[in-house]
Amino acid sequence: MTTIYQKTKGLQDTELHYCPGCAHGIVHKLIGEVLEEMNALDTAIGICPVGCAVFAGNYFSFDTIEAAHGRAPAVATAVKRTHPDQPVFTYQGDGDLASIGAAEIVHAAMRGEKFTTIFINNAIYGMTGGQMAPTTLIGQRATTAPLGRTREQAGMPIRVAEMLATLEGCVYAERVCVTDIPHLNKTKKALKKAFERQMAGDGFTFIEVLAACPTNWGMEIDESNRWLMENMAAYYPLGVIKDTEAK
Ligand SMILES: Cc1ncc(C[n+]2csc(CCOP(=O)(O)OP(=O)(O)O)c2C)c(N)n1
């Protein structure tokens, strides 16, 4: 019998608790595959705060540490500085990273901390029931903005990758998504590049993944992927935002 697909050793056999159509499980798989290909499953350390991925440590097979809401970059700073030869990453939602943890991530990037942040931007607070996040789009409904976000009340959504790219300590920032196989392959490449640049000691690396949340968006799965491409990708352009290595 020929094996045509084998689940990455970067994930345990635990069943995922994510909703149908959620991007978290797909991104977990890609991280596991990349670290496995880099022979880093014995050394990698992930820092996962609260949010829907609060149980990420039950799914990854390498070491993880739980951090308080928004504080993963501070924990990652300590871990990476004391374990400079090991790949370290934070895995953060937009409620976590762009709201309560906004100062943490800005200062980690400013300092050029040599870890990778994987930012799962689903434009909503998923775990707590669909409240407005700093990344919620204008007009997008949330439980705390039942008529849709307005500029007058909440300002314009924050483009985190572009903001961090202004800091010299940030050497690589790319925005990706996992709505179909070509985009998923690009995401895997971007994750690998981020980890490779981290291990080369270049500085802070940042991957933003535009992620569907059909449950809190109140959509079917196909509809949520279409909505993401038509609306989220229009405001948050996909592609490389910064690459200090680019010619
Ligand atoms: C100090 C603190 N404040 C608030 C909360 C409640 N809380 C848990 S997860 C979360 C937001 C999660 O949203 P996000 O980071 O976007 O991740 P998602 O669930 O969408 O994946 C909040 C506000 C908390 N756990 N700790």
Q: How confident is the model at residue 246 (pLDDT cuts 50, 70, 90)?
A: confident
Atom of ligand 1 nearest to the CA of 122: 20
Residue 238 predicted with pLDDT over 70: yes
6 C-alpha to ligand 1 centroid (Å): 33
What pLDDT is attached to residue 240?
A: 98
Mean pLDDT of 144-165: 98
Atom of ligand 1 nearest to the CA of 127: 19
What pLDDT is attached to residue 247?
A: 66
Residue 177 predicted with pLDDT over 90: yes
182 C-alpha to ligand 1 centroid (Å): 30
Q: How confident is the model at residue 1 (pLDDT cuts 50, 70, 90)?
A: confident
DSSP character string of the chain: --------TTB-SPPP-PPTT-SHHHHHHHHHHHHHHTT-TTT-EEEE-SSGGGGHHHHBSSEEEE--TT-HHHHHHHHHHH-TTS-EEEEEEHHIIIIITHHHHHHHHHHT-S-EEEEEE-SSBTTTTSB--TTPPBT--BTTBTT-B-HHHH-SPP-HHHHHHTSTTEEEEEEEE-SSHHHHHHHHHHHHHHHHHHHTT--EEEEEEE---HHHHT--HHHHHHHIIIIIHHHS--EEEEETT--
Fold of 24-243: Rossmann fold (3.40.50)
Who lines ligand 1 at CB under 6 A? 50-53, 69, 93-96, 120, 122, 124-128, 133
Looking at ligand 1, which residue's alpha carbon is closest to its atom 16? 95
pLDDT, tens digit, 9 for 90 and up, residues 199-214? 999 999 999 999 999 9
Atom of ligand 1 nearest to the CA of 125: 13
71 C-alpha to ligand 1 centroid (Å): 12
Residue of 16, 121, 127, 224 with the most ligand 1 atoms within 8 Å of its CB, for mutation: 127
77 C-alpha to ligand 1 centroid (Å): 21
Residue 169 predicted with pLDDT over 90: yes
Mean pLDDT of 148-155: 98
Looking at ligand 1, which residue's alpha carbon is closest to its atom 21? 52
Mean pLDDT of 166-181: 98
| Percent of the chain whose predicted confidence (pLDDT) is above 90 | 98
pLDDT, tens digit, 9 for 90 and up, residues 47-74? 999 999 999 999 999 999 999 999 999 9
- pTM beyond cutoff 0.95: yes
Residue 13 predicted with pLDDT over 70: yes
Looking at ligand 1, which residue's alpha carbon is closest to its atom 6? 128
Mean pLDDT of 88-103: 98
Per-chain mean pLDDT for the chain: 97
Atom of ligand 1 nearest to the CA of 94: 16
51 C-alpha to ligand 1 centroid (Å): 4
243 C-alpha to ligand 1 centroid (Å): 30
195 C-alpha to ligand 1 centroid (Å): 26
Q: How confident is the model at residue 181 (pLDDT cuts 50, 70, 90)?
A: very high
